[in-house]
Amino acid sequence: MGRPATRPTKLRDGYYIEICNKNQKNGIKIHRATKQQLVHAIKEYEKNKKVIVLGKLKNGKMEKIDLPGYA
């Protein structure tokens, strides 16, 4: 067992969602390259999990995206 990371990881450019169990706050971030893949992942995970759309990461900055019906 090693030490935990001291600086945050660098994220790749693309679309991100956060997946959590229904009763929990913390979740995992999931990366998809295209908007179509993102919508497919949302439909797959929303059956059992709470899905939060984080947005599109471009050059290290998160941009909001418009997906009707998702926060």
Q: Give residue for tokens 């797959």.
A: 44
- Residue 27 CA to residue 58 CA, distance in Å, equals 22
Query: Token digits for 1?
Result: 């067992």
For residue 71, pLDDT beyond 70:
no
pLDDT at 5: 86
Q: Are 65 and 35 in contact (CB under 8 A)?
A: yes
For residue 69, pLDDT beyond 80:
no
pLDDT tens sequence across 4-52:
889 988 889 999 999 999 888 889 999 999 999 999 999 999 889 999 9
